[in-house]
Amino acid sequence: MTADISCDILVIGGGIAGLSLAAEVASRMAAAPQTRGSGGVVVLVEAEPALGYHTSSRSARQLIPSYGPPVIQDLTLRTLALIRAAEADLPEPVLAPRSFLLIGDDESVRDRASAHMHPVMPAEALGLAPELRPEAFSAAGLDNTSVACNTDALLDYHRERLTAAGGRIVTGRRVQAAVRVGDPGAQRWEAAADGLRFEAPVVVNAAGAWADIVAETFGARPQGLTPYRRTAAVVDVERPLDAGAPMVADAGDRFYYRPEGSQVLISPSEREPSVAEDSRPRDTDVQALVELVNSVTTMGITGVARAWTGLRTETPDGLPAVGWDPAVPGFFWLAGQGGYGFQTSSAVAELAAGILLAEDVENGAREALSPARDRV
């Protein structure tokens, strides 16, 4: 078959994972042209008409260094450093201060303790979040390193970096079939996507909730990914929170909330398995959440302005799968970001680009995230 588009690396998926990796690897290739093959740079293909349509436009937009296991915490700190360095060249900052306050009982707060979170007395927690009803919690922890993230600006930044480095973006085409062709040593993928034919020696699977389905298309063994529903809503309140108020989260994962202008973003923190789909919120879930948040705070929710549901896709051990497939040549995983997709994005893109370009990658996360790792 004759390809419509030939490239060196074909990235499947235009969420934060695919975009940040595509931008990083394209920038490195542009800076070192000897790494480019004959086909020409990096192409990103996205099934939806717009980039970031699925989970990447449905997050809570908070980066929390105390959240997740140690490898995730390290990747989060590295991502913060990389975004801060990039902000110097951006018209507006991507990050803004917003601390993270964890509340619950002694045991549940202690279970989530980390180097980036320090315990605070309930009275201090009430000073930071005066809308909390004192009887709603008995212990609290504060992460002052946590920040709010303008995720739209971050996606734009990566999109612009990708195109500035000569990369190309194709939207509205779903990759549905693939075959490995060519002589040994010069093999490449031919992939078909809604009438468009791509050719590339390397394919990156950044397909979010669809990543295991995409893997099967390429003959690779699935990672055992599960997409989990998570809902959020923006609500009107009688007593708006202070603009500088922290994100408040229940250590028992029953809810979290944070200011959203004069409104409040709330979430039930649910983790319900789903198929890969364009997920939608359920009125009953949102109503139950409103009642719960009204019972633990005095903000006084008066109405729901909008609600949405996204899929947080996890591997069985909860860590992303980043690296070459152990059995299928030319097939690279960038999946399973779960609830950490933004907060680990730049560091994971840095790691993935290094592996893809066969650079010396000295990164403790490499083994931990390897798609070939042993899982319990």
Convert residues 285-324 into a mask of x (bound to ligand FAD by CB under 6 A) and - (unbound): -------------------------x-x------------
Closer CB to ligand FAD, 28 or 61, in the complex: 61
Q: Which of 11, 13, 218, 350 binds ligand FAD (CB under 6 A)?
A: 13
Q: b vs e for 177-211, b when ≥16 Cβ sit within 10 Å of the residue's Cβ?
A: ebebeeeeeeebbbbbbeeeebbbbbbbbbbbbbb
Could you say which of 8, 46, 260, 325 contacts ligand FAD (CB under 6 A)? Answer: 46
- Residue pair 257/250 in contact (Cβ under 8 Å)? The answer is no
| Residue 14 touching ligand FAD (CB under 6 A) | yes
Helix (H) or strand (E) holding 78: helix 70-87
**How many separate helices (H) and strands (E) can be counted in the chain?**
9, 22
DSSP 224-290: --EEEEEEEEEEEESSPPPTTPPEEEETTSS-EEEEETTEEEEE----EE--SS-----HHHHHHHH
Q: How far is the CB of 300 from ligand FAD (least distance, A)?
A: 23
Min dist. Cβ of residue 137 to ligand FAD (A): 21
Q: Least distance from C-beta 92 to ligand FAD, angstroms?
A: 19
Q: Which is nearer to ligand FAD, 137 or 342 (CB)?
A: 342
Q: Which is nearer to ligand FAD, 127 or 282 (CB)?
A: 282
Binds ligand FAD by CB under 6 A, chosen from 39, 167, 208, 259: 208
Write the CB contacts of 34 (distance below 8 Å, at least 6 apart in sequence): none
Q: Is 56 in the site for ligand FAD (CB under 6 A)?
A: yes
Report how far residue 151's alpha carbon sits from residue 138's, in angstroms, rounded to the nearest whole number: 33
Stretch that binds ligand FAD, among 12-20, 126-134, 237-245, 322-330 (CB under 6 A): 12-20
146 binds ligand FAD, rule: CB under 6 A: no
In whole angstroms, the minimum distance from the beta carbon of 121 to ligand FAD comes to 26
Binding status of residue 343 toward ligand FAD by CB under 6 A: yes
- Considering only the stretches 258-266, 335-343, 351-359, 363-371, report the one whose residues sit in contact with ligand FAD under the rule CB under 6 A: 335-343
In angstroms and rounded to an integer, the radius of gyration of the C-alpha atoms of the chain is 21
- Pairing mode, if any, of strands 95-97 and 147-149? antiparallel
* Residues 20, 350 contacting (CB under 8 angstroms): no
Rounded-to-integer distance, Cα 276 and Cα 293, Å? 29
CB of 278 to ligand FAD, least distance (A): 9
Three-state secondary-structure class, residue 202: strand
One of 10, 83, 200, 206 touching ligand FAD (CB under 6 A): 206
Which residue carries 């983790």 as its tokens?
271
As measured in angstroms, the least distance from the Cβ of 134 to ligand FAD is: 27
* Smallest separation, CB 54 to ligand FAD (Å): 3
Could you list the residues that contact ligand FAD (CB under 6 A)?
12-18, 45-48, 53-56, 58-62, 174-175, 206-210, 214, 230, 232, 267, 310, 312, 337-343
